[in-house]
Amino acid sequence: MKTGLPMVANSKTVVLILGSFPSEQSLQQQQYYANRTNDFWKLMSAVVGEDIASLDYDSRIKILLNKGIGLWDVIGKCERDGSADGNIRNPELNDFSILEKACPKLRLICLNGGKAAAWESDLQRYGYATKPLPSSSGANRRNADERQHQWQSILDK
């Protein structure tokens, strides 16, 4: 059984972006979206209006938190060979009941990709608005302009 990464959020978090489960590379480095072929940090650069993709991981996280954006995953533990979402077996969801206390200003949960979005109704039970987003995976670059537009809308009031 593999264990995911801890939530990156604080009392100022208004938007929480949930992936499905970290890649093998992310687990090894203990960093969200560590695989350079994933476009997550490029997309987040467009969201926050500055080039954070070229910064070190700690600086990226600091900027996201200052902008009210947190990171986590839907699945906290699972069995999986490799990094493909399709290989996830026996998923155990993270405990989302902690969000009310950990992130009292949270207003939106964004779901990065189809596997994360499959759990949308489970997350809505906690009373948060949800927004499925096109996957940040490098394999999902078709309609890149539309994907970027959808990601940039996450901070819209």
Residues catalogued as catalytic: 38
CA–CA–CA angle 110, 146, 71 (5° rounding) = 25
Query: What's the rounded Cα separation, in Å, for the pair 153 and 157?
Result: 9
154 near 110, Cβ under 8 Å?
yes
Q: Which of 66, 68, 88 is nearest to 22 (CA)?
A: 88
The helix (run of H) or strand (run of E) holding residue 45 is: helix 40-48
Residue 130 to residues 10, 81, 89, 120, Cα–Cα distance (Å): 19, 29, 24, 7
Cα(38)–Cα(140) distance, rounded to whole angstroms? 9
